[in-house]
Amino acid sequence: MVAIIMAAGVGSRISRHVDKPKCLLEIEGESILRRTVKMLLRNHISSVVVTGYQHRQIARELQDLQATLLHNPFYRVTNSLGSLWFARDYIQDDEDVILLNADVFWEQDILDILLLGKENALLLADSSVERLEQGDYFFGVHDGTIVKYGKDMKRVDRTHEYVGVGIVRAAFVPVFCDMMQYMMDSEQYNCWWEDILYRCSSDHDVYIRDIAGHFWAEVDYIEDYERIMNYICQRNQGKAAE
């Protein structure tokens, strides 16, 4: 199994607070990205990291780990669909592929949930009330499949917030790649990699797995990073009290 990690973005919403890619923000002495790559390696999953903004910093961060680095030199004029395109040769018809954004803080409990899913196309999502009120990108889900999606969905239509992680099983890879090819051929460079699955959802079921109750964060704002640090602090205090 391979994981393709999108790490090319500038992170404009947090860049005024930090001077490095947001995936390199440290949690207990290790960057978010490094923690992810190491977790995947422990689970015998290889990592392909597509870089862009300050790519040399990311290369230094991962230089001692087994990870394939690719560079998207057009990161300022494409969204993550363009980054995924550079990794297309690592998407094989006989292999499942995990796809994720590099700025997601997640841990083994959530990876276990992802890997247990048998659906051909699956995205992780969170139905917690707080997420539905304050989240960034939302799904409307019916019978476990995505029927609506968007940043500006009406509150009544929101059932889940998207996490930033998904998996495409080998059986669905040809459909996924055909849609990626179509979107690139039609010059839809401003799309996200997830838009491939959203487009596929009109003809194929794209499922979600609810991870409500498990801690995760996608770092778009400095407050997201602070929430991670508070979580780690509280968890460590709990362990010390045991």
Tens of pLDDT, residues 163-172: 999 999 999 9
pTM of the model: 0.95
Distance CA 88, CA 164 (A): 19
Distance CA 81, CA 116 (A): 26
Confidence check: pLDDT of 68 > 90: yes
Average pLDDT, stretch 141-151?
97
Give the pLDDT score at 20. Answer: 83
Is residue 140 within 8 Å of 157, Cβ to Cβ?
Answer: yes
Average pLDDT, stretch 215-222?
92
Strands (E), 179-230: 207-210, 217-218
Structure tokens at 151: 């940043």
Give the pLDDT score at 15. Answer: 53
Structure tokens at 27: 């949690």
For the chain, how many structural domains are there in total?
1
pLDDT digits (tens, 9 = 90+) for 69-88: 999 999 999 999 999 999 99
Confidence check: pLDDT of 16 > 70: no
- Identity of residue 42: R
Q: How confident is the model at residue 158 (pLDDT cuts 50, 70, 90)?
A: very high
Distance CA 80, CA 12 (A): 14
Where in the sequence is the domain holding 96, given as residue range(s)?
A: 2-241
Distance CA 91, CA 113 (A): 22
DSSP 78-132: --HHHHHHHTGGG--TTS-EEEEETTEE--HHHHHHHHH---SEEEEEE--HHHH
Q: What does pLDDT average to over the chain?
A: 94
Structure tokens at 101: 């954004």
Is residue 139 within 8 Å of 110, Cβ to Cβ?
Answer: no
CATH number of the domain encompassing residue 18: 3.90.550.10
